């Protein structure tokens, strides 16, 4: 049996294949395989069947991947416009293709101190990721007391692990100037808040000396 979910508003969204299995003892079990239906915006099927889902790009920094991210960001901001931007103590200024990324102190970075600047110019992306086992995390790039001023001079992209490098490249492609990465902005980043509560997030970032 085939089943698809669709309505005039949301369009064609999912195809389900429902089947039954019978055991040698005569027991009957029903199962279903569900497939999300996706199509590029320019695909005629997207228009004919009103397919709203778009394929995820296999390479996020690609043109189609970045365009998809911009669409999602716009949809989110349309629903939840930001009125105030909380700034952590430190951020990474990702620069541009011809500029060096570097660590900056928010309270001493002129572009972030301009009260007349648009809120959008102070946007940043926060990267949340797993460091992995302790033995693997130890040798990875991180800011410590003896490397703090070196990071403020510049961070060579070649020294970044792939996850952090992707974050920098995605920020640049999205036109977001800053990124918050705990291992790169703090002397020590050993505690975790464990949830998305803004108050706990703010308290956490303020403890990162």
pLDDT for 103: 93
Residue 169 CB contacts under 8 Å (≥ 6 apart), including other chains:
61
d(CA 37, CA 80): 28
Q: How far is CA 180 from the centre of its chain?
A: 11
Domain regions of the chain by residue span = 1-55, 90-207
pLDDT of amino acid 176? 92
Alpha-carbon gap, residue 159 to 104, rounded angstroms: 18
Exposed/middle/buried for 140, CB within 10 Å: 0-12, 13-18, 19+? middle
Per-block average pLDDT, block size 10, for the chain (209 residues)?
A: 45 75 83 79 79 68 79 85 80 89 91 83 86 73 82 89 88 92 68 47 53
What pLDDT, on the 0 to 100 scale, is given for residue 91? 94
Angle at 14 between CA 10 and CA 15, to 5 degrees: 140
């Amino acid at each position: 049996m085939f089943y698809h979910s669709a309505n005039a508003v949301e369009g064609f969204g999912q195809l389900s294949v429902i089947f039954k299995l019978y055991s040698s003892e005569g027991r009957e079990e029903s199962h279903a395989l569900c497939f999300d239906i996706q199509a590029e915006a320019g695909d005629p099927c997207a228009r004919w069947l009103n397919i709203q889902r778009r394929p995820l790009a296999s390479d996020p920094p690609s043109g189609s991947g970045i365009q998809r991210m911009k669409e999602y960001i716009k949809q989110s901001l349309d629903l939840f416009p930001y009125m105030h931007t909380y700034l952590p103590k430190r951020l990474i200024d990702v620069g541009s293709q011809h500029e060096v990324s570097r660590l900056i102190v928010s309270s001493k970075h002129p572009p972030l101190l301009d009260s007349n600047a648009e809120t959008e110019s102070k946007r940043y992306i926060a990267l949340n990721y797993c460091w992995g086992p302790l033995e693997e995390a130890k040798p990875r790039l991180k800011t410590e007391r003896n490397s703090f001023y070196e990071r403020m001079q510049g961070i060579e992209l070649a020294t970044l692990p792939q996850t952090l490098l992707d974050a920098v490249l995605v920020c640049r492609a999205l036109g977001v100037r800053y990124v918050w990465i705990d291992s790169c902005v703090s002397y020590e980043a050993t505690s975790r808040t464990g949830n998305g509560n803004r108050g706990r997030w703010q308290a956490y970032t303020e403890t990162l000396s």
